[in-house]
């Protein structure tokens, strides 16, 4: 299947923004929710689901549902392996060499309290320290993807989507918080802040749009007048967000309408509006393939770079937390060096892939 270059570029941009957002530097004012009240997390989840839906539908059409299901499970297992490699590296490296750093102590506080329980919890996806919670969510949603396709084929995707909306509505009453309340004192359980009952809506939406692209059937069509109103909504959210950035306030913390972890309704609407127009603009990036090649390479190697950069972010977070006479400049330099490491990692991975793709010619008899 031909790669969608524009999606690789988008994933590359999202990863670079995530790198900046994970460190307490002044650069976060530019990259933290810059075009509305939604973060890189929504973009990551939707794009990943979009590609999962596209590939599942293509495999189901060419090789059958069973083959598509097997391929999806194998992908989920690779993400799970990346999760284990990431957390074990952080536990080992952070626990032995960085345990005195206040930032690392804060992120891995439960690990330092009970290392054995934290390791066991990580294996079962029950222990998710800060910054280490996104891959477990991908694993869960990837394993649920074949179930979504089975239900869509059996009852229709409209019913699947309505069911997903129903689950999201229930999640607004904090049902997940209630279900895990009794585990707060269990040493090997530490769920991330993402409410899976809420975030499944973005995943299901991405699956539906990815599937429709493979079938070349539009999921939703809007009249020009409605699109114009939606564009005005995007502008209003954009202006509102930058006013909040300038005033140094975060309405998402005070209002459930813009809540991140439970995907408040206004936040969800903001993301949909921006995503609608982003989908129209992304194909034009193909004209800039050569100029955007470094960012595209980052997107092509999303999983390994994401995993390694989470480790680097925790290290940098620990270093920035150390008192420094010019903390802002210190943090900015560290983050810029981390961004450079992202491009270096993408270059190395590209070189390795190219070397592996070169098959030596057979020796003459």
H or E stretch at 198:
helix 196-215
What's the N-to-C CA distance of the chain in angstroms? 36
Q: Of the candidates 168, 25, 143, which has an alpha carbon nearest to the alpha carbon of residue 83? A: 143
Q: What is the pLDDT of residue 36?
A: 93
The Cβ-side half-sphere exposure at 3, using a 13 Å CA radius, reads: 14
Q: What is the pLDDT of residue 106?
A: 76
Backbone phi, then psi, for 356, in 5-degree steps?
A: -70, -25
Q: Does pLDDT of 143 surpass 90? A: yes
Q: What is the pLDDT of residue 365?
A: 35
Q: What is the pLDDT of residue 309?
A: 92
pLDDT digits (tens, 9 = 90+) for 18-63: 999 988 888 988 999 999 999 999 999 999 999 999 999 999 999 9
Share above pLDDT 70 across residues of the chain, in percent, rounded to a whole number: 95
Describe the crossing of helices 196-215 and 265-281 by its angle, rounded to 10 degrees. 20
Q: Does pLDDT of 215 surpass 80? A: no
Q: What is the pLDDT of residue 15?
A: 95
Share above pLDDT 90 across residues of the chain, in percent, rounded to a whole number: 58
pLDDT digits (tens, 9 = 90+) for 256-279: 899 999 999 999 999 999 999 999
Confidence of residue 166 (pLDDT cuts 50, 70, 90): very high
Q: Does pLDDT of 146 surpass 90? A: yes
Q: What is the pLDDT of residue 226?
A: 92
pLDDT digits (tens, 9 = 90+) for 310-355: 988 888 877 776 555 556 788 888 999 999 999 999 999 998 888 8
Which residues have a Cβ under 8 Å from the Cβ of 328 and sit 6 or more positions away? 25, 26
For the segment 65-88, the average pLDDT, to the nearest whole number, is 95
H or E stretch at 208:
helix 196-215
Of residues 16 and 286, which shows the higher confidence score? 16
């Amino acid at each position: 299947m031909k790669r969608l270059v524009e999606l690789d570029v988008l994933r590359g941009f999202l990863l670079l923004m995530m790198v900046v957002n994970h460190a307490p530097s002044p650069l976060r004012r530019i990259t933290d929710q810059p075009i509305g009240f939604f973060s890189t997390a929504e973009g990551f989840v939707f794009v990943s689901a979009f590609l999962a839906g596209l590939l599942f539908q293509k495999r189901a059409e060419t090789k059958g549902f069973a083959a598509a299901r097997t391929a999806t499970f194998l992908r989920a297992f690779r993400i799970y392996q990346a999760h284990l490699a990431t957390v074990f590296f952080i536990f080992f490296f952070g626990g032995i060499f960085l345990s005195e750093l206040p930032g690392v102590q804060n992120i891995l506080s439960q690990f330092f309290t009970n290392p054995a329980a934290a390791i066991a919890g990580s294996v079962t996806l029950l222990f998710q320290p800060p910054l280490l919670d996104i891959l477990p969510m991908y694993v869960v949603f990837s394993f649920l993807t074949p179930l979504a396709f089975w239900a869509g084929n059996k009852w229709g995707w409209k019913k699947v989507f309505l069911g997903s909306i129903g689950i999201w509505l229930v999640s607004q009453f904090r049902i997940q918080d209630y279900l895990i309340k009794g585990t707060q004192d269990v040493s090997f359980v530490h769920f991330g802040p993402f409410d899976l009952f809420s975030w499944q809506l973005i995943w299901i939406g991405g699956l539906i749009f990815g599937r429709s692209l493979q079938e070349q059937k539009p999921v939703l069509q809007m009249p020009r007048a409605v699109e114009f109103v939606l564009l005005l909504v995007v502008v209003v959210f954009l202006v509102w967000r930058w006013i909040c950035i300038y005033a140094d306030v975060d309405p998402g913390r005070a209002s459930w309408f813009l809540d991140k972890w439970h995907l408040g309704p206004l936040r969800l609407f903001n993301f949909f509006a921006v995503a609608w127009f982003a989908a129209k603009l992304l194909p034009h990036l193909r004209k800039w393939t050569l100029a955007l090649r470094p960012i595209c390479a980052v997107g092509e190697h999303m999983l390994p770079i994401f995993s390694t950069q989470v480790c680097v972010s925790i290290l940098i977070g620990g270093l920035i937390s150390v008192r420094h006479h010019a903390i802002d400049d210190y943090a900015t330099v560290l983050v810029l060096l981390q961004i450079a490491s992202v491009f270096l990692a993408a270059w190395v991975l590209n070189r390795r892939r190219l070397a592996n793709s070169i098959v030596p010619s057979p020796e003459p008899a």
